[in-house]
Amino acid sequence: MESLPFDLSDYRGRQVGFLQQIPDDSLLILPTNPVMARSNDTNFPFRADSYMLYLCGWDSPDAVFIAYKADESWKTSLLVRPADQKAEIWEGRRVGVEGATSGWPVDIAHSIDEMEGILKDLMHDRSAIYTIPGKNAIIDEMISSCTLPVSDPRPILDKMRMLKSPAEAKIMQECANIASSAHIEGMRHAFPGIGEWHLQSILEGHFTRNNSQWAYQSIVGGGDNATILHYNSNNSIVMDGELVLIDAGCEVNGYASDITRTWPVNGSFSNTQRSVYELVLTAQKAGINACTAGSPWISMHKATSEVLAAGLIELGIIDCSIDDALGGRLVSIYSRFFMHGTGHLLGLDVHDVGGGRQGDSEPGPILRPGMVVTVEPGLYFGSWWGEIDVPEEFLGLGVRIEDNILITESDPIVLTSDCPKEISDLEEIVGSMG
Ligand SMILES: [Mn+2]
């Protein structure tokens, strides 16, 4: 990292915010993600643990963030890879122990090579440990063989991470802008017969040209492939007359954007495509309008579901009352064609911490200013599903529209508003450079 994305005082504030919520005699041990092998001696690109990025911004491998109370005040410490010219010639420059002490929001730093001795000493006179297991085998082993009670710091940290500061929101806006323009580039250069991989490369190339990278594997699904929610083979041709669904977002300083757009690859919606698209768009706008501070999490899903269920009845796709379509818990007849949640929290993780995921046993958080959420209703009619009883014309259609929303005291801010979604705009842009 060239320089830290936030002021040192911002990180210190986060550390204090967490530490004041745990007992004085506890020890926080927060290892970053492990490096993962891809093939033989080649690794997957390293991505730091999000809690590590949040608390101290350290984005290099082999690091542990530690906090403990000494002389009445909390001390924070980083264990990092030490300077090592021979290794650095192969792997790249290191900040090293001295660099970490002077430029990062910690009181002290040590070499990661001293980890076991340091942790053993610190564990000696504490009465509780806070850690996230599964990141570092040596730490897991040390903790399992000690007698101290172990707690999970995530419930506390997740509540903090859920609310973005103005500085975080600014980065997320930059990130959304890059992703928006990447989608526009894809639309512009599209033509019937283009490979899904080709569209993928246009978007991801735009991420890279803007010093960013993908935040999750890009989904580029033409025709029926759009009815596979996490499709990422991206190896088919998008044929004339088909819609293409692109769900792709980038990462800036660890923060994700997450945009989905669906449009006709030949630049012109058929009547059937238009009717489904307009319905999803209306539902999506209703979902965005429900993003108001103080509303329960389910209100976004309720808003999109009511529009979609009524629209499916109107289009003749389902034949029942609106109440039967919706069912008691918003999972009923209509959810055969809209089988995912309306959105999720967004931040350092693309499906960010703090709850609100479909399948969670908790009801999800009340919407509060500073939260960033996605609103992404969709309708899917896979012709390959077998048991699907809808008029023929709808088969093979998948439509999802997704924006990123910052909740405020007043109206929600659509961070991805630069990315077109109105039918007239899409028809004008798609293929304009083809
Ligand atoms: Mn999403």
Q: What is the 151 CA–ligand 1 centroid distance (Å)?
A: 30
Would 1 be classed as within a structural domain?
no
Q: What is the 162 CA–ligand 1 centroid distance (Å)?
A: 16
Q: What is the structure's pLDDT at 125?
A: 83
Q: What is the 346 CA–ligand 1 centroid distance (Å)?
A: 8
Listed in sequence order, the residues at least 6 apart from 117 whose beta carbon sits closer than 8 Å to its beta carbon are none
* Percentage, residues of the chain above pLDDT 90: 89
Q: Which of 115, 136, 160 is the last residue of a domain?
A: 160
Identify the band that residue 380 occupies on the pLDDT scale cut at 50, 70 and 90. Answer: very high
Task: List residues with catalytic annotation.
Answer: 41, 230, 247, 258, 340, 344, 351, 376, 380, 400, 402
| Cα–Cα dist 306/301, whole Å | 8
Q: What is the structure's pLDDT at 330?
A: 58
Domain identity same for 152 and 186: no
Identify the band that residue 3 occupies on the pLDDT scale cut at 50, 70 and 90. Answer: confident
pLDDT in tens, 24-62: 999 999 999 999 999 999 999 999 999 999 999 999 999
Q: What is the structure's pLDDT at 326?
A: 80
Identify the band that residue 1 occupies on the pLDDT scale cut at 50, 70 and 90. Answer: low
Domain identity same for 142 and 176: no
Listed in sequence order, the residues at least 6 apart from 313 whose beta carbon sits closer than 8 Å to its beta carbon are 319, 320, 322, 325
User: What CATH number is attached to the domain comprising 101?
Assistant: 3.40.350.10
Domain identity same for 182 and 132: no
Tokens of 349: 């993780």
pLDDT in tens, 134-185: 999 999 999 999 999 999 999 999 999 999 999 999 999 999 999 999 999 9
Domain identity same for 305 and 416: yes
Q: What is the 11 CA–ligand 1 centroid distance (Å)?
A: 27
* Percentage, residues of the chain above pLDDT 70: 98
Domain identity same for 42 and 170: no
Q: What is the 372 CA–ligand 1 centroid distance (Å)?
A: 11
pLDDT in tens, 245-300: 999 999 999 999 999 999 999 999 999 999 999 999 999 999 999 999 999 999 99
User: Looking at the 3D structure of the chain, how many domains does it have?
Assistant: 2
- Strand runs (DSSP E) across 47-179, as ranges? 64-70, 73-80, 108-111, 128-131, 150-151
Q: What is the structure's pLDDT at 419?
A: 98
Domain identity same for 259 and 313: yes
Q: What is the 226 CA–ligand 1 centroid distance (Å)?
A: 14
Cβ atoms within 10 Å, residue 271: 7
Q: What is the 376 CA–ligand 1 centroid distance (Å)?
A: 7
Q: What is the structure's pLDDT at 329?
A: 60
Q: What is the 36 CA–ligand 1 centroid distance (Å)?
A: 25
Residue 54 is part of which domain span? Answer: 8-160
| Cα–Cα dist 228/345, whole Å | 22
Contact 46, 31 (CB under 8 A): no
Would 434 be classed as within a structural domain?
no
Q: Which of 143, 160, 177 is the last residue of a domain?
A: 160
Residues with CB in 5 Å of ion ligand 1: 258, 374
Would 2 be classed as within a structural domain?
no
Q: Answer yes or no: is pLDDT of 108 > 60.
A: yes
Domain identity same for 181 and 107: no
Tokens of 141: 């082993």
- pLDDT mean over 416-426: 98
Domain identity same for 140 and 267: no
The phi, psi pair for 30, rounded to 5°, reads -120, 95
Residue in this structure with the two tokens 């033509």, named with its chain if needed: 191
In three-state form (DSSP H/G/I as H, E/B as E, the rest C), the secondary structure along 31-46 is: ECCCCCEEECCEECCC
Domain identity same for 73 and 117: yes
Q: What is the structure's pLDDT at 328?
A: 64
Residue 75, strand partner residues = 68
Q: Which of 160, 190, 219 is the last residue of a domain?
A: 160
Q: Answer yes or no: is pLDDT of 14 > 60.
A: yes
Q: What is the 258 CA–ligand 1 centroid distance (Å)?
A: 5
Residue 372, strand partner residues = 406
Contact 338, 412 (CB under 8 A): no
Contact 167, 192 (CB under 8 A): no
Domain identity same for 239 and 195: yes
pLDDT in tens, 303-361: 999 999 999 999 999 888 888 778 766 556 788 899 999 999 999 999 999 987 766 77
Q: What is the structure's pLDDT at 198?
A: 98
Report the run of H or E that residue 262 belongs to, with start and end: strand 259-264
Task: Print burial letters for 296-322: b (CB count within 10 Å at least 16), e (below 16).
Answer: ebbbbbbbbbbbbbbbbbebebbeeee
Task: Print burial letters for 75-112: b (CB count within 10 Å at least 16), e (below 16).
Answer: ebbbbbbbeeeeeeeeeeebbbbeebbeebbbeebbbb
| Cα–Cα dist 320/89, whole Å | 68
User: For residues 352 and 2, which has the higher predicted lDDT (pLDDT)?
Assistant: 352
**What angle is formed at CA 340 by the lines to CA 203 and CA 350, rounded to 5 degrees?**
45
Contact 409, 173 (CB under 8 A): no
Would 3 be classed as within a structural domain?
no
Domain identity same for 111 and 248: no
Contact 87, 58 (CB under 8 A): no
Would 182 be classed as within a structural domain?
yes
Average pLDDT, rounded, for the chain = 95
Domain identity same for 335 and 367: yes
- For the four alpha carbons of 237, 239, 244 and 249, in that order, the dihedral sign comes to positive
Contact 255, 175 (CB under 8 A): yes
User: What CATH number is attached to the domain comprising 356?
Assistant: 3.90.230.10
Would 83 be classed as within a structural domain?
yes
Q: What is the 98 CA–ligand 1 centroid distance (Å)?
A: 40
Would 285 be classed as within a structural domain?
yes
Q: What is the structure's pLDDT at 2?
A: 58
Q: What is the 321 CA–ligand 1 centroid distance (Å)?
A: 30
Identify the band that residue 386 occupies on the pLDDT scale cut at 50, 70 and 90. Answer: confident
- pLDDT mean over 85-97: 96
* 8-state DSSP, 145: T
- pLDDT mean over 87-101: 95
Would 221 be classed as within a structural domain?
yes
